[in-house]
Amino acid sequence: MSEHENVALVKRWFKEVWNEGRTDTIWELLAPRFEGVGQVEDGSRITTPEEFLVFQARLRAAFSNFEVTIEDAFAADDKVAARWISRGIHTGDQLGVPATGKEIVVRGISMAIIRDGKIVEGWDNWDRLKMMTEIGAVEAVKAPLAKTA
């Protein structure tokens, strides 16, 4: 696939899997043996579409009106990088925290390797601490910036 087609595939992934909740797209675009890093809070890896389905269902159930907006995406060879922002309302208990009704706004970056029209590897880096702070699961530490002499 061309770099342009790879970027389109990643944009489709975010639109259909996250914004529309389409689980069939997970089966269509994720390779049967997948290496996912950075999705799950405990640092474990996602290695199959079945495992990704569990992650996707839990996150979408925790936040109503969940939406991801791609702010920038580009490719080099078989790699695609996407910078995104997600929004949602914390209306579910799936994160181990009772629903708060609070809005979250979280930014992140995802990278994927695409082979034969399938995502074979994916790395996500997103601000979990900000999300947990926004729903009141952790308290933000307010410290002044250090002054230089």
What pLDDT, in 10s, does the model give residues 4-33? 999 999 999 999 999 999 999 999 999 999
> Which tens digit of pLDDT belongs to each residue from 136-149?
888 877 877 777 76
CA distance 83 to 87: 14
| Single-letter amino acid, residue 44 | S
Residue 27: closest CA among 111, 123, 121, 118? 118
Contacts of 59 (CB under 8 A, 6+ apart): 66, 94
> Which tens digit of pLDDT belongs to each residue from 33-87?
999 998 887 788 999 999 999 999 999 999 999 999 999 999 999 999 999 999 9
Q: Which residue has the higher pLDDT, 112 or 41?
A: 112
Q: Which pairing describes strands 79-90 and 103-115: parallel, antiparallel, or unpaired?
A: antiparallel
CA distance 80 to 9: 9
Tell me, yes or no, whether 140 lies in a domain: no
**Per residue in 16-34, is it b (16+ CB within 10 Å) or e — as a string?**
bbbeeebbebbeebbbeeb
CATH number at residue 81: 3.10.450.50
| Single-letter amino acid, residue 53 | L
Q: What local confidence, expressed as pLDDT, does residue 110 receive?
A: 97
Tell me, yes or no, whether 83 lies in a domain: yes
CA distance 109 to 124: 6
φ, ψ for residue 55 (rounded to 5)?
-60, -50
Q: Please determine, for residue 95, whether its predicted confidence score (pLDDT) is greater than 90.
A: no
**H or E element, residue 146:** none
Tell me, yes or no, whether 120 lies in a domain: yes
Tell me, yes or no, whether 124 lies in a domain: yes
Q: How many structural domains does the chain have?
A: 1
Tell me, yes or no, whether 68 lies in a domain: yes
Q: What local confidence, expressed as pLDDT, does residue 149 receive?
A: 63
Q: What local confidence, expressed as pLDDT, does residue 54 receive?
A: 94
Contacts of 54 (CB under 8 A, 6+ apart): none
Tell me the average pLDDT of the chain: 93
- Structural domain for 95, as ranges: 3-134
Q: Name the band, by pLDDT with cuts 50, 70 and 90, for residue 94.
A: confident
Tell me, yes or no, whether 85 lies in a domain: yes
Q: What local confidence, expressed as pLDDT, does residue 100 receive?
A: 94
Q: What local confidence, expressed as pLDDT, does residue 9 receive?
A: 98
Tell me, yes or no, whether 63 lies in a domain: yes
